[in-house]
Structure formats: C-alpha cells, structure tokens
C-alpha cells in the first residue's frame, strides 16, 4: 500500500505535455509533432521511474530532465534528415552512405527549376504531347555513339529490364568470372532468375575462352551477357575474350551482345589513375548491342540506370510493361540533362564535382591542406599534413588509388573517437575517418567553399 502511494506521488510529479511544450521553445517543428515527442518523453520517464526504487519526485528536476531529452530528440531527428547536407572528409569520392555523386551547381539549379511545372512530356514547339526524357536520350546517344537510349531508376533495374525484355524464357550466356555481387546483396544470378532467364555459366572463375561461349550457344540462347567486375579484380593467371571478339561471335549467330558496364564512364579517366573501367562509347564501337551503366557513379549525376544501344533493341525494351514501372521522374531527368550538357560542352572536368575531385592533383591538395593547417589556432589540437590515398568508391575502380594530402588530428584531452564523434555531430556534420589513433580529413572530398566550416568545427574542439 505504501509502495503504491509512493508511485502515485512520483507520477504526479511528472510534467504535463503542455508544461513540457512551454518549457521547450523550439522553432521549425510543428505543434502536432512537438506534442507527439513530448508524450513519448513523458512516457519514457514514467516507465523508468516505476522501474526504480529511488523515485525522484522533484517536479523541477523531472521537467528539466524531460526538456533536455526533448531537445536531444529533436536535434537527433534534424541530424538524421536527408535535408541536412554533410561535409565528406573521408576521401571516398562516391561514398554510397553519403549519397554517392554530389550534383553540379547547374544540376542543382535544374532540379530546383524542374520541381515546379516543367515541360516533362510537352513539346513546346509543336504545342502537343512530347516524349518524356527526349533531350536526355538524345544527349546519351550523341555522347556514346549509340542509336538510342532509355533511363530507368537504377542500374539493377536496367539489368532486370534488359534481360526480361530481350531474353525471358530463354538462356543467357555469362562467364563464371562475372557472376558478381555488389553492395546491397545485388547478385547477377538473382537478377537473372527474377527476369525469367536461364543463366548458362561458361569457363572458370579466372579463365574463359571464346570457344566456351561458342559451345554453349543453342536454339534457346537469347543473348550473350558481359558483366563488368565493378568492385573487385581477378589478377594473375586470367583470360577473357575481348568485347570485339564476343560481338563478332554473337552477331555471327544472330544474337545480341549485352554489356552491364556497372559504373561506366563517358570519358577516359586513365590519365587520372582510373584504369579498367568501361568507356561506354568504346563498348558501343566494339559492337555491344546494348550497354547499361549507372548515373550516380563515374557519370557524376543522379541515381539512374542508363541503357544505350541499337534502336531496334532499345525500342523493344522501351515497350515492355516493366519499363513504365521503372522509369524516372522529372527531377532525375533534370539532373541528368544538366550533367550531360556539361559533357556535350566539354566542360565536365570543370563543372561536375565527381570528375573535378578525381582529377585533382596531389600537389594542389597538399597546398590546400597546409594552408588550412596554418589557420587552426587551437593549442590543444595538433595538426599534421601527411600523404595518403583517396578512393573512388561506389563500387567503381577498386584498384585505383588517388594520391592525396590528409590533415591528421590529435588532441591533448580528447581521444580520436571523441574527435570523430564531435565532428560528426557538428552543424554541418563532418564525416571523417580514424587511422593510427588519429582523425584524418581528406581535402580531396572537401570543397574549397567548405573549408571555413571545417575550420570553425576544429576551433570548437
């Protein structure tokens, strides 16, 4: 009886929802949302108090505790919002967890403009209904040398659509060395199974000959599939036919050759240390009938699965019912169009952040790092400029290592883990990495206009 009376006394000390709301003057959050969070916090406190023996029944203490929790909850929600931009200091250019390719200024402007009414499926000259994505498809065809193009919502969708439209109910031949799995448990064999295509594996993990493909062709064969090893490489005792050889074989047997190029690139990036990635125009020139690749990787635009190739086959793919389910919206088309225009005007290395970061020279990065280090005035924070390597990321160019300059941070009182945590919870959040008990900031993925924000965060440590 005494225990029950004590519990009631404690619960009476809990603040009301209205009292908690009045105690938390928070702007930018709706009344309904604030009420819901306040109720959740009070419910949490009630459960905790009932589970404890030492019940603090002080009203002011409980109100202050509830207010603190409410502020923390709101701050957490804001930090978790997609609208909150972050500073990528990891040196991973295409960081999947951070949204992969950052859009160019012109692409961002185009997305904002397209968010209003736009001529998505309206021909302004004819004053009649037009084709969705017509300008993007035209640019893709011109930039790759293909006859036609389509855009769907990601590269896995592109693979599924191509296989379903061109080979469902039949067989597709693929090398065992190309049965890849990339991020998110995306496996080529699983996609082929979903498309209704029977996968015919040929060769071995490390060696596949042209004769292996030739022996596998029969009356049920619908296409030959070539898959780029996006996120790994097989080295050593290896052999695989060239795309030209596969095209010659496929066309002699009246079969289409389909290349899933993964990241894909529209321009040659080998002068900047990225080798072995398919250049889409070269794949088309080598005889590939259909090629698919990503929009948000080496292309440097928004998430999309791009399909280019022969007009006849692209027409078949575009008429398949699955295409409508996988097509993209006006915002994706806007970002793609602005990005492709940069390629068309030969301004891609200047305008597209992904390419600009990849092409950045280590000497330039070293000068920036030294300049930033000299501006850090905190006596307890020790900053050293050291050499390092950036990564392309996003499942692209796994063997490419881009020389860079790193800011290595140590603090007299704070551990590396605590420094990383404080930077991550900063406004704006700064995402760094830890190595050898030091926090490392890579200037390759920090834009020059972000340096002042980084400096301000370091001054707080």
Round the average pLDDT of the chain to a whole number and report it: 90
pLDDT band at 230 (very low <50, low <70, confident <90, very high): low
pLDDT at 52 (0 to 100): 73
Question: How is residue 137 written in tokens?
Answer: 């498809």
Between 322 and 275, residue with greater pLDDT: 322
- Prior bond of 428 cis (ω within 30°): yes
Strands 128-129, 122-123: pairing is antiparallel
- 336 near 302, Cβ under 8 Å? yes
Question: Looking at the DSSP assignment, which residues form a beta bridge with residue 438?
Answer: 435
117-151 pLDDT, tens digit per residue, is 999 999 888 999 999 999 999 999 999 999 999 99
pLDDT at 228 (0 to 100): 87
State pTM to two decimals: 0.85
Report d(CA 279, CA 266) in Å as an integer. Answer: 6
What order of strands is seen across the sheet that includes strand 148-152?
148-152, 305-309, 290-294, 257-260, 221-227, 171-175, 198-202
pLDDT band at 83 (very low <50, low <70, confident <90, very high): low
Question: How is residue 335 written in tokens?
Answer: 């970002």
Q: What is the DSSP string of 221-254?
A: EEEEEEE--TT----SS-B---HHHHHHHHHHTT
162-208 pLDDT, tens digit per residue, is 999 999 999 999 998 877 766 556 677 788 888 899 999 998 878 88
Residues present in the chain in total? 461
Question: How is residue 107 written in tokens?
Answer: 């692409």
* Rounded average pLDDT over 447-456: 95
267-279 pLDDT, tens digit per residue, is 999 999 888 889 9
Report d(CA 281, CA 147) in Å as an integer. Answer: 11
DSSP letter at 327 equals: B
pLDDT at 100 (0 to 100): 93
Q: Is 453 exposed, middle or buried (0-12, 13-18, 19+ CB in 10 A)?
A: middle
- 96 near 394, Cβ under 8 Å? yes
Report d(CA 460, CA 43) in Å as an integer. Answer: 35
Res 363 pLDDT > 50: yes
Q: Is 120 exposed, middle or buried (0-12, 13-18, 19+ CB in 10 A)?
A: middle
pLDDT at 238 (0 to 100): 67
pLDDT at 318 (0 to 100): 97
369-385 pLDDT, tens digit per residue, is 999 999 987 778 999 99
Residue closest to 291 by CA, chosen among 176, 166, 129, 389:
166
336-350 pLDDT, tens digit per residue, is 999 999 999 999 999
pLDDT at 49 (0 to 100): 80
6-62 pLDDT, tens digit per residue, is 566 667 888 888 888 888 877 778 888 888 998 999 999 888 887 776 656 678 888
pLDDT band at 1 (very low <50, low <70, confident <90, very high): very low
């Amino acid at each position: 009886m005494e225990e029950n009376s004590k519990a009631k006394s404690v619960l009476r000390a809990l603040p009301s929802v209205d009292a908690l709301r009045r105690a938390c003057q928070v702007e930018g959050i709706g009344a309904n949302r604030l009420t819901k969070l306040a109720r959740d916090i009070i419910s949490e406190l009630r459960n905790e108090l009932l589970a404890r023996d030492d019940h603090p029944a002080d009203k002011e203490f409980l109100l202050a505790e509830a207010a603190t929790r409410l502020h923390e909850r709101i701050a957490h929600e804001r930090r978790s919002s997609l609208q909150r931009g972050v500073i990528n200091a990891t040196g991973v250019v295409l960081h999947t967890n951070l949204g992969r390719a950052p859009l160019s200024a012109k692409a961002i402007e185009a997305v904002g403009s397209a968010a209003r009414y736009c001529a998505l499926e309206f021909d302004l000259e004819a004053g009649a209904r037009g084709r969705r994505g017509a300008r993007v498809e035209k640019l893709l065809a011109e930039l790759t040398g293909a006859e036609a193009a389509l855009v769907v919502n990601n590269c896995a969708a592109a693979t599924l659509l191509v296989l379903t439209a061109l080979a469902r109910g039949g067989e597709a031949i693929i090398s065992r060395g190309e049965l890849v799995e990339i991020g998110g448990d995306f496996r080529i064999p699983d996609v082929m199974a979903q498309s209704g295509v029977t996968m015919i594996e040929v060769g071995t993990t490390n060696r596949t000959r042209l004769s292996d493909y030739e022996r596998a062709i029969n009356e049920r064969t619908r296409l030959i599939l070539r898959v780029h090893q996006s996120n790994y490489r097989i080295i050593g005792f290896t052999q695989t036919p060239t795309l030209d050889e596969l095209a010659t074989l496929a066309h002699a047997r009246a079969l289409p050759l389909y290349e899933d190029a993964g990241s894909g690139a529209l321009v040659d990036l080998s002068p900047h240390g990225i080798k072995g990635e398919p250049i889409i125009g070269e794949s088309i020139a080598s005889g590939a009938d259909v090629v698919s690749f990503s929009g948000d990787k080496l292309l440097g635009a928004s998430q999309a699965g791009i399909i280019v190739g022969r007009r006849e086959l692209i027409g078949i793919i575009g008429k398949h019912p699955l295409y409508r389910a996988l097509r993209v919206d006006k915002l994706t088309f806007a970002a793609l169009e602005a990005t492709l225009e940069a390629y068309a005007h030969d301004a891609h290395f200047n305008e597209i952040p992904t390419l600009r970061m990849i092409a950045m020279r280590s000497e330039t990065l070293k000068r920036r790092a030294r300049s930033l280090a000299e501006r850090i005035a905190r006596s307890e924070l020790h900053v050293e400029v050291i050499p390092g390597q950036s990564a392309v990321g996003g499942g692209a160019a796994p063997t490419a290592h881009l020389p860079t300059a790193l800011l290595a941070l140590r603090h007299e009182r704070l551990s590396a883990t605590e420094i990383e945590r404080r930077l991550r919870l900063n406004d704006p959040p700064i995402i760094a990495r830890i190595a050898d008990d030091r926090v490392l900031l890579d200037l390759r993925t920090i834009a020059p206009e972000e340096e002042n924000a980084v400096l301000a965060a370091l001054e707080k440590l």
